[in-house]
Amino acid sequence: MRAVRLASAVATTVVLLGAVTACSSSKGGNDAKAGDAKGGGDPIAAALTGDPKAALAASALVMQKAGNGKVTMVAPDDAKGGGTGDADWKDPAKAAVDLVGDMGGKKLRIRVVGPDAYLGGDDAAAVLGGKHWVKLPAGNEAGDGFRAAGQMLNPVVLLTVAAQGGKPTKVGQEDLKGTPTTHLRAVEETSTLVAGMSGLPEEQRKAVQKTLEEDGKTLTFDFWLNAKQELVQYQEYGDTNGAKEAVTVTYSDLGKAAAITAPAAADLGDQAELLKLLGS
């Protein structure tokens, strides 16, 4: 979908890294208990029954316990592969990401800490007069996408809304790069997902919804869970362009991601230099 393609297109687009987000439904929000999908009891044990909702709920608990991890995001039309880095979802109000990708011969980073979004990295210093970051203001298209990335890369909200809403289905057992996994699928209303983005202010949620709905009113998620109920990978696409526009996000090294902090104020460059930094 377009929003996630923006998030992955670090090599070719001016927006660089927009993002799609899939968060908890208005029914449960980020505070929803993943085990509720089974109506109580041990969700891990319930997942062994093969109930897709129970499996997704169990995975949400496992990923919540992990709290962070390494992430890679790839879109089908990005020859250089998209963004790679760290994500922290322990606190939904302060969801954070730090991703890096190639663009015009430079390695640029996006960093999101709660509602604040930044673009920069070591290769930005030559453009920014020795400083390394630009803070993106609210209403800026790239900035809105970056802030959405903090939500989109939170696997707990993705899994929880899928467990609580709609009718997730089991696609089958599949080998994913040598790892046996269970492949599940869920279809959710875009508006429902955006309504659950409790970590973003209302105006930012409106901007994200506008972007997401360019891809369709509904979003399809495919999840791959390993034997430990960890989310290994998911793919996402909207109903406008379909699966040919699916974006893939993979998780690894759960609980081992580097700490993500906001850049120091003294290291922030002039916002007027943003287009120059992006090569425009």
State CA 90 to chain mean position distance: 14
pLDDT of amino acid 103: 66
Inter-residue contact 123 to 132 (CB < 8 Å): no
The pLDDT, as a whole number, for residue 274 is: 77
The pLDDT value given to residue 191: 84
Instruction: Centre a 10 Å sphere on the Cβ of residue 4 and count the other Cβ atoms it contains.
Output: 34
What is the per-residue pLDDT for 106? 74
Q: Report the distance separating Cα 111 and Cα 93, nearest Å.
A: 15
What are the average pLDDT values for consecutive 10-residue runs of the chain, which has 280 residues? 41 29 36 40 54 94 97 71 86 88 78 89 90 85 75 86 86 94 93 75 78 84 96 93 87 96 94 74
Q: Structural domain boundaries of the chain?
A: 2-21+70-153+165-261
Per-residue pLDDT tens digits for 213-225: 877 899 999 999 9
- Give the tokens for residue 65: 């316990």
Which architecture does CATH list for 2-21+70-153+165-261? Clam (2.50)
Distance of CA 266 to the CA centre of its chain: 29
CA–CA separation, 147 vs 117, rounded Å? Answer: 6
Q: What angle do CA 11, 257, 107 make, to 5 degrees?
A: 20
Average of per-residue pLDDT values in the chain? 78
pLDDT at 24: 34
Selection from 200, 3, 194 nearest residue 115 by Cα: 200
For residue 124, give both structure tokens. Answer: 């930005």
